[in-house]
Amino acid sequence: MSQTEQPIVPAPPPLHGGEIMGHPKALWQLFNIELWERFAYYGMRALLAVYVATAFYSNMGQAEANAQASLIYGGYTALVYATGIAGGYIADRVLGYQRSILLGAIIMAAGLFVLLIEDLNWFLIGLALIVAGNGLFKPNISTMVGKLYSPNDVRRDSGFTIFYMGINLGAFIAPMITASWIGANYGMKYGFFAAGIGMILSTLFLEFAKKSLGKVGLPEEGKEGWGRFFMVGFGALGLAVVVYFLLTASTVLGYLLIGIMLGLVVYFISAGIRSGDKVQMHRYIAMLLLFLANACFWALFEQAGSSLNFFAREFSTPMYGDTETWMAGGFGIFQSLNPLYILLFAPLFAMMWPKLEKMGLNPSIPRKFALGLIQVALGFYLLVFAISNMQNAAGLVPWIFLALCYLLHTTGELCLSPIGLSMVTKLADEKEVGLAMGGWFLSIAMAQYVAGLIAAIASGGGGHGSALSGIDQYADTYMQLFWLGLAFGIVYLVAAPFINKLMHGVK
């Protein structure tokens, strides 16, 4: 095989149910399953940091409460993505994708209902169960989307973009229901109850999808028994115990994430060497370089659920309603802007890339990553500008600037995230796609952890004095994020030809 040839891989298993709008019916089934799982995740995320600060740290000053909540938020979201690497391995080697997703959904639903208990230790147990279940769910449903298409199928990127729209439809309706309606009127903890109902719906729709999926994601021959299912279930509960400890030990979690990522880098480099395939070796190096860009992007982007959420509540003019309603949960409406923008613009991006390809103007994958980084940086600059020039007499910033910040972050996300999911399934060896997808989510996990540290600085610094001192802390932090994102974006623009060469024709 020459260095420019695509590897020969098996065709996808036969599917049932035909096609809808030019894509396998199974894609739309997975779209529905992911929609409700994302409803559960983003519904509780819209409330998580603010709820923790007000329910469990109200005896502290506001700034310190925000900082403590941001660290818990960052630890939780980091672990949600970090466990994906174990979930990918289990699906590849032990359970198959369908059963891994089913088990993960059941455990996550249980964790969401535990969040209703008004005690910090029980709340952390609930978060730990969600983390353990999510590791089995999240990377594997994305991998199953890739398995619906052959690697050279021109519909593949569009299929991932459609799937990405399902994610964002769930994320769009969730904050409006859990935060802006239920949280604002009945109490934030009941927003978690609504999220749990969403997870139950996701589990039920998975059962409905089995016929359309055919053999996609089923266990390998000889691994069909349910004993493995229960064995992995007990293992997940054991993992939840470890996660509970890590949620209370932020520094230990940071070192652990670094260790796992270094181990993953060594694994993929070693796998490339063992394969004796120079092309695959180069592709793994390119994949790891793009993992780094991904981590930088999400460290900035994921201020959304923490520092940007606190900023919306404390320093933004209300988008609707009175101040009391806004403070009680109305601020959560901002969490619907990102998925709303994706629903509006994802179809345009999906149509734009093929048209640019025909014109010879389609940016390469590394350049799309660079564009994503530059746009997320510009979003923070907008807020810095508004803080410096647009505050009213009460020290509040017009909500439109926060909405525009989310818009730039979203267009950056559309340049990077759906493209990245597809990229992983094409650069990884067929037998290691699940593990590679877990690695993609591990890079996001490290970003989430760093995002929590950043949010603790942004939302926790200077908040004991006047409102102005608190908002100045946001301005200082967001200006540094602007320069960081801009620098990384320029580096990847310059390095794009080198990374493209390592990818050996993968687009």
pLDDT per residue of the chain (507 residues) written in tens, 0 to 9? 333 344 444 555 555 556 666 677 778 878 888 899 999 999 999 999 889 998 898 888 777 888 888 899 999 999 988 887 787 778 877 787 888 888 999 999 999 999 999 999 999 999 999 999 988 887 778 778 877 777 667 677 677 778 877 888 899 999 999 988 998 888 888 999 999 999 999 888 887 777 777 677 666 666 667 777 888 889 889 999 999 999 988 888 888 888 888 888 888 888 888 877 888 888 888 889 999 999 999 999 999 888 998 899 889 998 887 777 888 778 888 999 998 998 898 888 878 888 888 888 888 889 999 999 999 999 999 999 999 999 988 889 999 999 999 999 999 999 988 777 778 878 887 777 767 877 887 888 889 999 988 988 887 654 333 344 588 889 999 999 999 999 999 999 999 899 988 887 777
Q: Where in the sequence is the domain holding 188, given as residue range(s)?
A: 22-503
In terms of residues, how long is the chain? 507
- Is 14 a member of any domain? no
- Is 345 a member of any domain? yes
Task: Enumerate residues 6+ apart whose C-beta is below 8 A from 138.
Answer: 37, 80, 81, 84, 87, 104, 441
Q: Count the domains in the chain.
A: 1
Q: What is the pTM of this model?
A: 0.82
Give CA angle at 331 (313, 128), nearest 5°: 90
The CATH number covering residue 99 comes to: 1.20.1250.20
- Is 13 a member of any domain? no
The burial of 465, by beta-carbon neighbours within 10 Å (0-12 exposed, 13-18 middle, 19 or more buried), is given as: exposed
By the 8 A CB rule, do 102 and 206 touch?
A: yes
- Is 12 a member of any domain? no
Q: 316: number of CA atoms within 13 Å, CB side? A: 26
- Is 17 a member of any domain? no
The burial of 59, by beta-carbon neighbours within 10 Å (0-12 exposed, 13-18 middle, 19 or more buried), is given as: exposed
Q: Closest by alpha carbon to 126, among 112, 140, 136?
A: 112
- Is 16 a member of any domain? no
Distance CA 80, CA 109 (A): 14
N- to C-terminal Cα distance for the chain?
19
pLDDT for 7 equals 42
Q: What is the dihedral of CA 287, 35, 305, 330, to 10 degrees?
A: 160
Task: Enumerate residues 6+ apart whose C-beta is below 8 A from 160.
Answer: 145, 146, 418, 421, 422
Distance CA 383, CA 335 (A): 16
Give CA angle at 42 (28, 381), nearest 5°: 110
Give CA angle at 446 (440, 449), nearest 5°: 140
pLDDT for 5 equals 41
Task: Enumerate residues 6+ apart whose C-beta is below 8 A from 348.
Answer: none
pLDDT for 371 equals 95
- Is 9 a member of any domain? no
pLDDT for 367 equals 92
- Is 341 a member of any domain? yes
DSSP state of 218: P
Distance CA 299, CA 334 (A): 19
